Structure 1
Amino acid sequence: MASWNSIPLEIAYQVLGWTAFIAWTFAPWPQVILNFRRKSVVGFNFDFVLLNLTKHTSYLIYNATLYFSSDVQKQYFEKYGSKEMIPVAANDVAFSTHAVLLALIHLLQIAIYERGSQTFSKVSIGIVSVVWFTAGVCFFIALPTHSWLWLINIFNSIQVVMAAIKYTPQAFMNFKRKSTDGFSIYIICFNFTGSVANFMQMAVQSIDQNSWVNFYGNIGKILLSLVSTFYDLIFLCQHFLLYPARKENVPGKINEEKDPLIDSFNQPDHSQNV
Protein backbone atom coordinates (compact mmCIF):
# COMPACT_ATOMS: atom_id res chain seq x y z
CA MET A 1 0.00 0.00 0.00
CA ALA A 2 1.19 3.53 -0.73
CA SER A 3 2.75 5.66 2.00
CA TRP A 4 2.26 9.35 2.70
CA ASN A 5 4.40 11.83 0.81
CA SER A 6 3.81 14.74 3.17
CA ILE A 7 3.85 14.58 6.97
CA PRO A 8 1.72 17.75 7.35
CA LEU A 9 -0.91 16.32 4.98
CA GLU A 10 -0.89 13.03 6.88
CA ILE A 11 -1.47 14.93 10.13
CA ALA A 12 -4.24 16.97 8.49
CA TYR A 13 -5.81 13.73 7.25
CA GLN A 14 -5.89 12.31 10.77
CA VAL A 15 -7.15 15.55 12.33
CA LEU A 16 -9.96 15.91 9.79
CA GLY A 17 -10.89 12.25 10.14
CA TRP A 18 -11.20 12.39 13.89
CA THR A 19 -12.95 15.75 13.68
CA ALA A 20 -15.58 14.07 11.51
CA PHE A 21 -15.73 11.18 13.98
CA ILE A 22 -16.24 13.48 16.98
CA ALA A 23 -18.89 15.56 15.19
CA TRP A 24 -20.77 12.51 13.94
CA THR A 25 -20.40 10.84 17.35
CA PHE A 26 -22.02 13.77 19.13
CA ALA A 27 -24.71 14.18 16.47
CA PRO A 28 -27.22 11.57 17.76
CA TRP A 29 -26.82 12.41 21.45
CA PRO A 30 -28.82 15.67 21.61
CA GLN A 31 -31.86 13.74 20.36
CA VAL A 32 -31.30 11.05 22.99
CA ILE A 33 -31.09 13.73 25.70
CA LEU A 34 -34.11 15.60 24.37
CA ASN A 35 -36.20 12.40 24.31
CA PHE A 36 -35.05 11.53 27.83
CA ARG A 37 -35.88 14.95 29.29
CA ARG A 38 -39.31 15.02 27.64
CA LYS A 39 -39.99 11.30 28.21
CA SER A 40 -41.52 11.54 24.77
CA VAL A 41 -40.55 10.88 21.16
CA VAL A 42 -43.41 12.87 19.64
CA GLY A 43 -42.01 14.92 16.76
CA PHE A 44 -39.11 12.52 16.18
CA ASN A 45 -39.93 10.54 13.05
CA PHE A 46 -39.85 6.76 13.55
CA ASP A 47 -39.16 6.01 9.89
CA PHE A 48 -36.00 8.12 10.13
CA VAL A 49 -34.78 5.87 12.96
CA LEU A 50 -35.57 2.62 11.14
CA LEU A 51 -33.97 3.74 7.89
CA ASN A 52 -31.03 5.20 9.79
CA LEU A 53 -30.32 1.88 11.52
CA THR A 54 -30.27 0.08 8.17
CA LYS A 55 -28.02 2.76 6.72
CA HIS A 56 -25.44 2.65 9.50
CA THR A 57 -25.45 -1.14 9.72
CA SER A 58 -24.66 -1.34 6.01
CA TYR A 59 -21.93 1.27 6.40
CA LEU A 60 -20.41 -0.62 9.34
CA ILE A 61 -20.26 -3.82 7.29
CA TYR A 62 -18.47 -1.97 4.50
CA ASN A 63 -16.01 -0.06 6.70
CA ALA A 64 -15.10 -2.90 9.06
CA THR A 65 -14.66 -5.45 6.27
CA LEU A 66 -12.46 -3.24 4.08
CA TYR A 67 -10.43 -2.03 7.06
CA PHE A 68 -9.78 -5.41 8.73
CA SER A 69 -10.01 -8.04 5.97
CA SER A 70 -6.73 -8.73 4.16
CA ASP A 71 -8.62 -10.70 1.48
CA VAL A 72 -10.85 -7.74 0.65
CA GLN A 73 -7.88 -5.37 0.70
CA LYS A 74 -6.09 -7.66 -1.76
CA GLN A 75 -9.09 -7.51 -4.09
CA TYR A 76 -9.12 -3.71 -3.73
CA PHE A 77 -5.44 -3.46 -4.73
CA GLU A 78 -6.01 -5.81 -7.66
CA LYS A 79 -8.78 -3.55 -8.93
CA TYR A 80 -7.33 -0.10 -8.24
CA GLY A 81 -3.57 -0.73 -8.03
CA SER A 82 -1.17 -1.79 -5.30
CA LYS A 83 0.14 1.76 -4.88
CA GLU A 84 -3.22 3.10 -3.75
CA MET A 85 -4.30 3.66 -0.16
CA ILE A 86 -7.24 1.88 1.43
CA PRO A 87 -9.96 4.57 1.49
CA VAL A 88 -11.27 3.59 4.94
CA ALA A 89 -9.66 4.95 8.11
CA ALA A 90 -9.97 3.86 11.73
CA ASN A 91 -12.28 6.80 12.43
CA ASP A 92 -14.71 5.48 9.79
CA VAL A 93 -14.99 2.14 11.60
CA ALA A 94 -15.32 3.84 14.99
CA PHE A 95 -18.01 6.20 13.72
CA SER A 96 -20.17 3.54 12.08
CA THR A 97 -19.94 1.27 15.15
CA HIS A 98 -21.05 4.10 17.42
CA ALA A 99 -23.81 5.12 14.99
CA VAL A 100 -25.35 1.63 15.03
CA LEU A 101 -25.38 1.63 18.85
CA LEU A 102 -27.04 5.06 18.98
CA ALA A 103 -29.67 4.04 16.43
CA LEU A 104 -30.51 1.10 18.70
CA ILE A 105 -30.84 3.50 21.64
CA HIS A 106 -33.25 5.62 19.59
CA LEU A 107 -35.32 2.50 18.91
CA LEU A 108 -35.34 1.69 22.63
CA GLN A 109 -36.59 5.18 23.44
CA ILE A 110 -39.37 4.79 20.88
CA ALA A 111 -40.40 1.59 22.66
CA ILE A 112 -40.49 3.03 26.19
CA TYR A 113 -41.44 6.72 25.84
CA GLU A 114 -44.73 8.41 25.04
CA ARG A 115 -45.18 8.48 21.27
CA GLY A 116 -48.71 9.71 20.67
CA SER A 117 -50.20 8.37 17.46
CA GLN A 118 -46.87 7.96 15.66
CA THR A 119 -45.99 4.56 14.18
CA PHE A 120 -43.57 3.04 11.70
CA SER A 121 -44.98 3.38 8.20
CA LYS A 122 -45.55 0.37 5.98
CA VAL A 123 -43.41 2.07 3.35
CA SER A 124 -40.31 2.24 5.56
CA ILE A 125 -40.83 -1.34 6.78
CA GLY A 126 -41.17 -2.45 3.16
CA ILE A 127 -38.01 -0.58 2.11
CA VAL A 128 -35.95 -2.11 4.92
CA SER A 129 -37.28 -5.60 4.14
CA VAL A 130 -36.40 -5.26 0.44
CA VAL A 131 -32.94 -3.92 1.27
CA TRP A 132 -31.98 -6.82 3.54
CA PHE A 133 -33.50 -9.39 1.21
CA THR A 134 -31.43 -7.92 -1.64
CA ALA A 135 -28.31 -7.99 0.53
CA GLY A 136 -28.93 -11.64 1.31
CA VAL A 137 -29.29 -12.50 -2.36
CA CYS A 138 -26.07 -10.64 -3.16
CA PHE A 139 -24.24 -12.59 -0.45
CA PHE A 140 -25.15 -15.91 -2.05
CA ILE A 141 -24.17 -14.54 -5.47
CA ALA A 142 -20.73 -13.52 -4.16
CA LEU A 143 -20.15 -16.70 -2.15
CA PRO A 144 -19.07 -19.12 -4.95
CA THR A 145 -16.42 -16.76 -6.38
CA HIS A 146 -15.53 -15.00 -3.09
CA SER A 147 -16.31 -11.64 -4.69
CA TRP A 148 -16.17 -9.89 -1.33
CA LEU A 149 -15.13 -6.49 -2.64
CA TRP A 150 -18.14 -6.49 -4.94
CA LEU A 151 -20.35 -7.52 -2.02
CA ILE A 152 -19.19 -4.81 0.38
CA ASN A 153 -19.57 -2.27 -2.41
CA ILE A 154 -23.21 -3.35 -2.52
CA PHE A 155 -23.46 -2.49 1.18
CA ASN A 156 -21.73 0.81 0.48
CA SER A 157 -24.31 1.55 -2.21
CA ILE A 158 -27.10 0.59 0.21
CA GLN A 159 -25.88 3.06 2.80
CA VAL A 160 -25.80 5.85 0.21
CA VAL A 161 -29.35 5.09 -0.93
CA MET A 162 -30.56 4.91 2.67
CA ALA A 163 -28.81 8.20 3.45
CA ALA A 164 -30.60 9.77 0.50
CA ILE A 165 -34.05 8.73 1.72
CA LYS A 166 -33.77 8.49 5.51
CA TYR A 167 -34.09 12.24 6.06
CA THR A 168 -37.17 12.60 3.86
CA PRO A 169 -39.75 11.40 6.44
CA GLN A 170 -38.44 13.85 9.06
CA ALA A 171 -38.28 16.73 6.59
CA PHE A 172 -41.84 15.98 5.44
CA MET A 173 -43.06 15.73 9.06
CA ASN A 174 -41.53 19.14 9.81
CA PHE A 175 -43.22 20.55 6.72
CA LYS A 176 -46.57 19.01 7.59
CA ARG A 177 -46.46 20.23 11.21
CA LYS A 178 -44.85 23.56 10.25
CA SER A 179 -42.56 22.97 13.20
CA THR A 180 -39.28 21.31 14.13
CA ASP A 181 -40.30 20.78 17.79
CA GLY A 182 -39.21 17.38 19.04
CA PHE A 183 -36.34 17.13 16.53
CA SER A 184 -33.03 18.39 17.86
CA ILE A 185 -31.30 20.81 15.50
CA TYR A 186 -27.98 19.88 17.10
CA ILE A 187 -28.14 16.58 15.20
CA ILE A 188 -27.92 18.62 12.02
CA CYS A 189 -25.23 21.03 13.23
CA PHE A 190 -22.90 18.20 14.24
CA ASN A 191 -23.76 16.20 11.13
CA PHE A 192 -22.96 19.15 8.86
CA THR A 193 -19.58 19.60 10.54
CA GLY A 194 -18.79 15.90 10.16
CA SER A 195 -19.79 15.84 6.49
CA VAL A 196 -17.56 18.79 5.61
CA ALA A 197 -14.60 17.34 7.55
CA ASN A 198 -15.15 13.95 5.90
CA PHE A 199 -15.03 15.48 2.41
CA MET A 200 -11.92 17.50 3.25
CA GLN A 201 -10.20 14.37 4.60
CA MET A 202 -10.66 12.61 1.27
CA ALA A 203 -9.41 15.69 -0.61
CA VAL A 204 -6.25 15.83 1.54
CA GLN A 205 -5.50 12.18 0.76
CA SER A 206 -5.99 12.80 -2.96
CA ILE A 207 -3.70 15.83 -2.93
CA ASP A 208 -0.96 13.93 -1.13
CA GLN A 209 -1.17 10.94 -3.46
CA ASN A 210 -1.75 13.04 -6.59
CA SER A 211 -4.58 10.64 -7.36
CA TRP A 212 -8.37 10.78 -7.14
CA VAL A 213 -8.78 7.01 -6.99
CA ASN A 214 -9.88 7.17 -3.35
CA PHE A 215 -12.93 9.19 -4.43
CA TYR A 216 -14.27 6.66 -6.90
CA GLY A 217 -12.72 3.75 -4.99
CA ASN A 218 -14.99 4.71 -2.09
CA ILE A 219 -17.71 6.57 -3.94
CA GLY A 220 -20.11 5.88 -1.09
CA LYS A 221 -18.11 8.02 1.31
CA ILE A 222 -18.13 11.07 -0.93
CA LEU A 223 -21.81 10.64 -1.82
CA LEU A 224 -22.61 10.28 1.89
CA SER A 225 -20.99 13.65 2.59
CA LEU A 226 -22.79 15.36 -0.30
CA VAL A 227 -26.21 13.88 0.48
CA SER A 228 -25.90 14.63 4.20
CA THR A 229 -24.85 18.22 3.51
CA PHE A 230 -27.82 18.72 1.18
CA TYR A 231 -30.34 17.56 3.77
CA ASP A 232 -28.55 19.39 6.58
CA LEU A 233 -29.11 22.64 4.72
CA ILE A 234 -32.81 21.78 4.32
CA PHE A 235 -33.21 21.15 8.07
CA LEU A 236 -31.29 24.31 8.97
CA CYS A 237 -33.61 26.33 6.73
CA GLN A 238 -36.67 24.68 8.26
CA HIS A 239 -35.52 25.31 11.82
CA PHE A 240 -34.19 28.85 11.55
CA LEU A 241 -36.05 30.35 8.58
CA LEU A 242 -39.30 28.53 7.80
CA TYR A 243 -40.48 27.29 11.20
CA PRO A 244 -38.62 29.20 13.93
CA ALA A 245 -39.54 28.30 17.50
CA ARG A 246 -42.38 30.34 18.99
CA LYS A 247 -42.74 31.22 22.65
CA GLU A 248 -46.53 31.25 22.66
CA ASN A 249 -48.56 28.05 22.74
CA VAL A 250 -49.75 27.02 19.31
CA PRO A 251 -52.59 24.47 19.04
CA GLY A 252 -51.46 21.16 17.65
CA LYS A 253 -47.77 21.82 18.28
CA ILE A 254 -45.39 20.72 20.99
CA ASN A 255 -44.11 23.73 22.91
CA GLU A 256 -43.38 22.37 26.33
CA GLU A 257 -39.95 20.95 25.61
CA LYS A 258 -36.72 22.91 25.77
CA ASP A 259 -33.46 22.06 24.13
CA PRO A 260 -31.38 20.27 26.76
CA LEU A 261 -28.12 21.78 25.51
CA ILE A 262 -29.21 25.38 26.03
CA ASP A 263 -31.81 24.99 28.77
CA SER A 264 -29.17 24.61 31.47
CA PHE A 265 -27.76 28.03 30.59
CA ASN A 266 -31.14 29.68 31.01
CA GLN A 267 -31.75 28.55 34.59
CA PRO A 268 -32.00 31.44 37.11
CA ASP A 269 -28.93 31.98 39.28
CA HIS A 270 -29.93 31.88 42.96
CA SER A 271 -26.38 32.07 44.26
CA GLN A 272 -26.80 35.79 45.05
CA ASN A 273 -29.96 35.26 47.14
CA VAL A 274 -29.61 35.74 50.88
Structure 2
Amino acid sequence: MASWNSVPLEVLYNVLGWVAFFSWSISFYPQVILNFRRKSVVGLNFDFVVLNLTKHSSYLIYNASLFFSSDVQRQYRQKYGLDEMIPVAANDVAFSVHAVLLTAFTLFQIAIYERGNQKVSKTSIGIVTVAWLVAAVCVFIALPSHSWLWLISCFNTLQVVMTVIKYIPQALMNFRLKSTVGFSIGNILLDLFGGVTNYGQMAVQSIDQNSWVNFYGNIGKTLLSLVSIFFDIIFIVQHYVLYPAKKMVISPNLDALSKEEALLKSSDHPHLDNV
Protein backbone atom coordinates (compact mmCIF):
# COMPACT_ATOMS: atom_id res chain seq x y z
CA MET A 1 0.00 0.00 0.00
CA ALA A 2 1.35 3.43 -0.93
CA SER A 3 2.45 5.85 1.77
CA TRP A 4 3.44 9.50 1.86
CA ASN A 5 7.04 10.40 1.09
CA SER A 6 6.90 13.86 2.63
CA VAL A 7 5.26 14.73 5.94
CA PRO A 8 4.88 18.44 5.04
CA LEU A 9 3.14 17.52 1.78
CA GLU A 10 0.87 15.10 3.63
CA VAL A 11 -0.07 17.88 6.07
CA LEU A 12 -0.65 20.30 3.18
CA TYR A 13 -2.78 17.68 1.41
CA ASN A 14 -5.04 17.33 4.46
CA VAL A 15 -5.21 21.09 5.04
CA LEU A 16 -6.20 21.78 1.43
CA GLY A 17 -8.73 18.95 1.54
CA TRP A 18 -10.51 20.25 4.60
CA VAL A 19 -10.33 23.85 3.39
CA ALA A 20 -12.06 22.65 0.22
CA PHE A 21 -14.60 20.79 2.35
CA PHE A 22 -15.46 23.84 4.44
CA SER A 23 -15.53 26.17 1.43
CA TRP A 24 -17.78 23.91 -0.61
CA SER A 25 -19.94 23.04 2.40
CA ILE A 26 -20.39 26.63 3.54
CA SER A 27 -21.18 27.61 -0.05
CA PHE A 28 -24.63 26.04 0.34
CA TYR A 29 -25.63 28.33 3.21
CA PRO A 30 -25.75 31.77 1.54
CA GLN A 31 -28.52 30.54 -0.78
CA VAL A 32 -30.37 28.83 2.07
CA ILE A 33 -30.10 31.97 4.21
CA LEU A 34 -31.15 34.20 1.31
CA ASN A 35 -34.23 32.04 0.73
CA PHE A 36 -35.08 32.19 4.44
CA ARG A 37 -34.67 35.96 4.70
CA ARG A 38 -36.82 36.59 1.62
CA LYS A 39 -39.27 33.77 2.33
CA SER A 40 -39.05 33.34 -1.41
CA VAL A 41 -37.11 31.30 -3.96
CA VAL A 42 -37.95 33.55 -6.93
CA GLY A 43 -34.76 33.97 -8.95
CA LEU A 44 -33.32 30.59 -7.95
CA ASN A 45 -33.56 28.17 -10.83
CA PHE A 46 -35.31 24.99 -9.69
CA ASP A 47 -33.70 22.88 -12.40
CA PHE A 48 -30.31 23.82 -10.93
CA VAL A 49 -31.33 22.40 -7.55
CA VAL A 50 -32.94 19.21 -8.90
CA LEU A 51 -29.97 18.41 -11.13
CA ASN A 52 -27.65 19.26 -8.25
CA LEU A 53 -29.30 16.63 -6.03
CA THR A 54 -28.70 13.92 -8.64
CA LYS A 55 -25.12 15.14 -9.08
CA HIS A 56 -24.27 15.04 -5.37
CA SER A 57 -26.09 11.75 -4.77
CA SER A 58 -24.09 10.00 -7.49
CA TYR A 59 -20.87 11.61 -6.24
CA LEU A 60 -21.61 10.37 -2.71
CA ILE A 61 -22.03 6.82 -4.01
CA TYR A 62 -18.66 7.06 -5.76
CA ASN A 63 -16.74 8.65 -2.88
CA ALA A 64 -18.18 6.44 -0.13
CA SER A 65 -17.64 3.25 -2.14
CA LEU A 66 -14.02 3.98 -3.03
CA PHE A 67 -13.19 5.23 0.47
CA PHE A 68 -14.83 2.46 2.53
CA SER A 69 -14.96 -0.64 0.30
CA SER A 70 -11.85 -2.84 0.35
CA ASP A 71 -13.10 -4.65 -2.78
CA VAL A 72 -13.33 -1.42 -4.74
CA GLN A 73 -9.92 -0.31 -3.48
CA ARG A 74 -8.42 -3.66 -4.52
CA GLN A 75 -9.86 -3.31 -8.03
CA TYR A 76 -8.56 0.27 -8.20
CA ARG A 77 -4.99 -0.83 -7.39
CA GLN A 78 -5.21 -3.74 -9.80
CA LYS A 79 -6.07 -1.27 -12.55
CA TYR A 80 -3.78 1.64 -11.71
CA GLY A 81 -0.95 0.01 -9.76
CA LEU A 82 -0.47 -1.59 -6.34
CA ASP A 83 1.65 1.34 -5.18
CA GLU A 84 -1.00 3.98 -6.02
CA MET A 85 -2.84 5.86 -3.28
CA ILE A 86 -6.63 5.89 -3.23
CA PRO A 87 -7.65 9.28 -4.72
CA VAL A 88 -10.59 9.82 -2.35
CA ALA A 89 -10.02 11.43 1.06
CA ALA A 90 -12.22 11.65 4.14
CA ASN A 91 -13.08 15.26 3.30
CA ASP A 92 -14.51 14.11 -0.06
CA VAL A 93 -16.94 11.75 1.67
CA ALA A 94 -17.86 14.35 4.31
CA PHE A 95 -18.55 16.94 1.63
CA SER A 96 -20.75 14.59 -0.39
CA VAL A 97 -22.90 13.71 2.64
CA HIS A 98 -23.30 17.35 3.57
CA ALA A 99 -24.04 18.39 -0.02
CA VAL A 100 -26.86 15.86 -0.39
CA LEU A 101 -28.47 17.01 2.87
CA LEU A 102 -28.24 20.74 2.08
CA THR A 103 -29.47 20.32 -1.49
CA ALA A 104 -32.43 18.31 -0.21
CA PHE A 105 -33.14 21.08 2.32
CA THR A 106 -33.06 23.67 -0.48
CA LEU A 107 -35.68 21.61 -2.31
CA PHE A 108 -37.75 21.71 0.88
CA GLN A 109 -37.49 25.51 0.84
CA ILE A 110 -38.68 25.52 -2.76
CA ALA A 111 -41.72 23.55 -1.63
CA ILE A 112 -42.70 25.91 1.22
CA TYR A 113 -41.62 29.40 0.08
CA GLU A 114 -43.06 31.80 -2.47
CA ARG A 115 -41.94 30.69 -5.93
CA GLY A 116 -44.12 32.75 -8.26
CA ASN A 117 -44.75 30.94 -11.54
CA GLN A 118 -41.43 29.10 -11.47
CA LYS A 119 -41.38 25.30 -11.63
CA VAL A 120 -39.11 22.40 -12.47
CA SER A 121 -38.95 21.98 -16.24
CA LYS A 122 -39.96 18.79 -18.02
CA THR A 123 -36.50 18.74 -19.56
CA SER A 124 -34.87 18.60 -16.13
CA ILE A 125 -37.25 15.88 -14.95
CA GLY A 126 -36.47 13.91 -18.10
CA ILE A 127 -32.72 14.26 -17.65
CA VAL A 128 -32.87 13.08 -14.04
CA THR A 129 -35.11 10.15 -14.95
CA VAL A 130 -32.82 9.01 -17.76
CA ALA A 131 -29.76 9.44 -15.52
CA TRP A 132 -31.08 7.11 -12.82
CA LEU A 133 -32.37 4.60 -15.38
CA VAL A 134 -28.88 4.43 -16.88
CA ALA A 135 -27.44 4.03 -13.38
CA ALA A 136 -29.82 1.14 -12.73
CA VAL A 137 -28.76 -0.55 -15.97
CA CYS A 138 -25.10 -0.17 -14.93
CA VAL A 139 -25.88 -1.89 -11.62
CA PHE A 140 -27.39 -4.91 -13.37
CA ILE A 141 -24.44 -5.11 -15.77
CA ALA A 142 -21.89 -4.98 -12.94
CA LEU A 143 -23.56 -7.50 -10.61
CA PRO A 144 -22.65 -10.79 -12.38
CA SER A 145 -18.93 -10.01 -12.70
CA HIS A 146 -18.65 -7.91 -9.50
CA SER A 147 -17.18 -5.05 -11.52
CA TRP A 148 -17.52 -2.60 -8.64
CA LEU A 149 -14.85 -0.15 -9.79
CA TRP A 150 -16.48 0.08 -13.21
CA LEU A 151 -19.86 0.58 -11.55
CA ILE A 152 -18.80 3.44 -9.31
CA SER A 153 -16.96 4.93 -12.29
CA CYS A 154 -20.37 5.10 -13.97
CA PHE A 155 -21.67 7.11 -11.01
CA ASN A 156 -18.57 9.29 -11.20
CA THR A 157 -19.25 9.94 -14.88
CA LEU A 158 -22.87 10.71 -14.04
CA GLN A 159 -21.84 13.34 -11.50
CA VAL A 160 -19.53 14.98 -14.05
CA VAL A 161 -22.35 15.15 -16.62
CA MET A 162 -24.71 16.58 -14.00
CA THR A 163 -22.06 19.11 -12.96
CA VAL A 164 -21.90 20.41 -16.52
CA ILE A 165 -25.66 20.42 -17.04
CA LYS A 166 -26.76 21.81 -13.66
CA TYR A 167 -25.16 25.24 -14.10
CA ILE A 168 -26.66 25.91 -17.53
CA PRO A 169 -30.29 26.64 -16.44
CA GLN A 170 -29.18 29.24 -13.87
CA ALA A 171 -26.73 30.89 -16.27
CA LEU A 172 -29.44 31.10 -18.95
CA MET A 173 -31.97 32.41 -16.44
CA ASN A 174 -29.57 35.17 -15.36
CA PHE A 175 -29.00 36.01 -19.04
CA ARG A 176 -32.72 36.07 -19.81
CA LEU A 177 -33.57 38.30 -16.83
CA LYS A 178 -30.37 40.34 -17.21
CA SER A 179 -30.18 40.00 -13.43
CA THR A 180 -28.77 37.79 -10.67
CA VAL A 181 -31.38 38.83 -8.11
CA GLY A 182 -32.36 35.84 -5.97
CA PHE A 183 -29.20 33.87 -6.78
CA SER A 184 -26.55 34.15 -4.08
CA ILE A 185 -23.12 35.26 -5.26
CA GLY A 186 -21.72 34.14 -1.89
CA ASN A 187 -22.44 30.56 -2.95
CA ILE A 188 -20.37 31.08 -6.12
CA LEU A 189 -17.38 32.74 -4.45
CA LEU A 190 -17.08 29.94 -1.91
CA ASP A 191 -17.60 27.32 -4.61
CA LEU A 192 -14.76 28.85 -6.63
CA PHE A 193 -12.40 28.79 -3.65
CA GLY A 194 -13.38 25.19 -2.92
CA GLY A 195 -12.70 24.18 -6.52
CA VAL A 196 -9.23 25.75 -6.49
CA THR A 197 -8.22 24.14 -3.18
CA ASN A 198 -9.67 20.78 -4.23
CA TYR A 199 -7.54 20.86 -7.39
CA GLY A 200 -4.55 21.92 -5.30
CA GLN A 201 -5.04 18.91 -3.01
CA MET A 202 -4.81 16.55 -5.98
CA ALA A 203 -1.69 18.32 -7.24
CA VAL A 204 0.02 17.93 -3.85
CA GLN A 205 -0.64 14.17 -3.83
CA SER A 206 0.73 13.87 -7.36
CA ILE A 207 3.89 15.79 -6.47
CA ASP A 208 4.52 13.63 -3.40
CA GLN A 209 3.96 10.37 -5.27
CA ASN A 210 5.69 11.57 -8.44
CA SER A 211 2.68 10.25 -10.32
CA TRP A 212 -0.29 11.90 -11.98
CA VAL A 213 -2.46 8.78 -11.85
CA ASN A 214 -4.85 10.29 -9.29
CA PHE A 215 -5.86 12.95 -11.84
CA TYR A 216 -7.15 10.41 -14.35
CA GLY A 217 -7.75 7.64 -11.80
CA ASN A 218 -10.37 9.95 -10.30
CA ILE A 219 -11.19 11.93 -13.41
CA GLY A 220 -14.54 12.88 -11.87
CA LYS A 221 -12.89 14.85 -9.08
CA THR A 222 -10.56 16.53 -11.58
CA LEU A 223 -13.39 17.56 -13.90
CA LEU A 224 -15.57 18.57 -10.93
CA SER A 225 -12.98 21.17 -9.94
CA LEU A 226 -12.36 22.44 -13.48
CA VAL A 227 -16.03 22.62 -14.52
CA SER A 228 -17.03 24.31 -11.24
CA ILE A 229 -14.28 26.92 -11.64
CA PHE A 230 -15.33 27.58 -15.26
CA PHE A 231 -19.00 28.21 -14.43
CA ASP A 232 -18.19 30.10 -11.23
CA ILE A 233 -16.22 32.58 -13.33
CA ILE A 234 -19.24 32.94 -15.65
CA PHE A 235 -21.54 33.69 -12.70
CA ILE A 236 -19.06 36.17 -11.22
CA VAL A 237 -18.87 38.02 -14.55
CA GLN A 238 -22.68 38.03 -14.79
CA HIS A 239 -23.08 39.37 -11.25
CA TYR A 240 -20.35 41.99 -11.12
CA VAL A 241 -19.80 42.96 -14.78
CA LEU A 242 -22.79 42.20 -17.01
CA TYR A 243 -25.68 42.70 -14.59
CA PRO A 244 -24.32 44.75 -11.66
CA ALA A 245 -26.74 45.20 -8.78
CA LYS A 246 -28.11 48.65 -8.00
CA LYS A 247 -30.19 50.05 -5.19
CA MET A 248 -33.65 51.53 -5.75
CA VAL A 249 -36.31 53.10 -3.58
CA ILE A 250 -39.56 51.13 -3.32
CA SER A 251 -42.74 52.43 -1.76
CA PRO A 252 -43.25 51.14 1.79
CA ASN A 253 -46.91 50.57 0.96
CA LEU A 254 -46.05 47.63 -1.31
CA ASP A 255 -46.19 44.17 0.21
CA ALA A 256 -43.10 41.95 0.22
CA LEU A 257 -44.06 40.03 -2.92
CA SER A 258 -44.90 43.20 -4.85
CA LYS A 259 -41.54 44.70 -3.89
CA GLU A 260 -39.77 41.60 -5.11
CA GLU A 261 -41.66 41.61 -8.41
CA ALA A 262 -40.86 45.29 -8.86
CA LEU A 263 -37.19 44.54 -8.36
CA LEU A 264 -37.17 41.67 -10.80
CA LYS A 265 -39.01 43.65 -13.47
CA SER A 266 -36.98 46.82 -13.00
CA SER A 267 -34.82 47.80 -15.94
CA ASP A 268 -31.92 48.30 -13.53
CA HIS A 269 -32.37 44.83 -11.97
CA PRO A 270 -31.25 45.99 -8.52
CA HIS A 271 -29.67 43.90 -5.84
CA LEU A 272 -31.98 42.24 -3.31
CA ASP A 273 -29.83 41.48 -0.30
CA ASN A 274 -27.80 38.79 -2.01
CA VAL A 275 -25.60 37.12 0.56
C-alpha RMSD of matched pairs (Å):
1.1
What 5-or-longer segments of structure 2 have no aligned partner?
250-262
Letter in 1 for 2:149: L
Q: Deviations over 1:72-93 (max 9, x none)?
A: 0010011111100000000000
Aligned to 2:108: 108
- The structural deviation recorded for 1:257 is 3.3
> Secondary structure in 1 aligned to 2:180?
coil
- Distance in 2 of aligned mates of 1:172 and 1:28: 21
CA contact 2:181–2:271 (8 Å) conserved in 1: no
The superposition leaves residues 6-49 of structure 1 with CA deviations (integer Å, 9 ceiling, x where unpaired) of 00000000000000000001001000000000000000000000
Whole-Å separation in 2 of the counterparts to 1:197 and 1:33: 24
Report matched runs for 1:202-217 at 5 Å. 202-217=202-217
Q: Cα 1:251–1:111, aligned 2, differ >3 Å: closer, same or farther?
A: closer
Are positions 1:151 and 2:166 aligned together?
no
SS in 2 for 1:143: helix
In 1, Cα distance between the equivalents of 2:165 and 2:246?
Answer: 29
| Superposition pairs of residues 94-173 of structure 1, within 5 angstroms | 94-173=94-173
Q: Secondary structure at the match of 1:144?
A: helix
Partner of 2:272: 257
Counting only pairs closer than 5 Å after superposition, residues 36-75 of structure 1 correspond to structure 2 as 36-75=36-75
2:5 equivalent in structure 1: 5
Q: Is the 8 A contact 2:247 2:271 kept in 1?
A: no
Match of 2:22? 22
Q: How far is 1:258 from its partner?
A: 1.4
Following superposition, the deviation at residue 104 of structure 1 comes to: 0.3
Compute the displacement of 1:111 (Å). 0.3
What does residue 269 of structure 1 align with?
Answer: none
Q: Does 1:235 align with 2:248?
A: no
| Distance across 1 between alignment mates of 2:111 and 2:222 | 34
The secondary structure found in structure 1 opposite 2:85 is coil
* 1:205-246: CA deviation from partner (whole Å, max 9, x where unpaired): 000000011111000100000000000000000000000111
Residue identity in the other structure for 2:61 = I
8 Å CA contact 2:181–2:264 kept in 1: the answer is no
Task: Give, in angstroms, the shift of residue 256 of structure 1.
Answer: 7.8
Q: Which amino acid aligns with 2:2?
A: A
Q: Secondary structure at the match of 2:265?
A: coil
Q: Return the TM-score normalized by structure 1.
A: 0.93
Q: Tell whether the 8 Å contact from 2:245 to 2:271 is kept in structure 1 after alignment.
A: no
Matched letter for residue 31 of structure 1: Q
Unpaired stretches in structure 1, ≥5 consecutive residues: 262-274
Which residue does 1:272 correspond to in 2?
Answer: none
Displacement of 1:252 after TM fit? 1.1
Measure, in 1, the Cα distance between the counterparts of 2:85 and 2:185.
36
Inter-partner Cα distance in structure 2 for 1:215 and 1:39: 42
Instruction: After TM superposition, give the deviation of residue 59 of structure 1 in Å.
Output: 0.2
| TM-score, length-scaled by structure 2 | 0.93
- Asked if the contact 2:65–2:152 (Cα under 8 Å) also holds between the matched residues in 1, the reply is yes
Offset of residue 248 of structure 1:
2.1
| Overall identity of the aligned pairs, in % | 68
- Change over 3 Å in CA distance of 1:257–1:41 after alignment to 2: same
Q: Secondary structure of 2:145's partner?
A: coil
Q: Residue type of the partner of 1:129?
A: T
Structure 1 residues 221 and 246: alpha-carbon distance in aligned structure 2, compared to 1, 3 A threshold: same
Amino acid aligned to 2:150: W
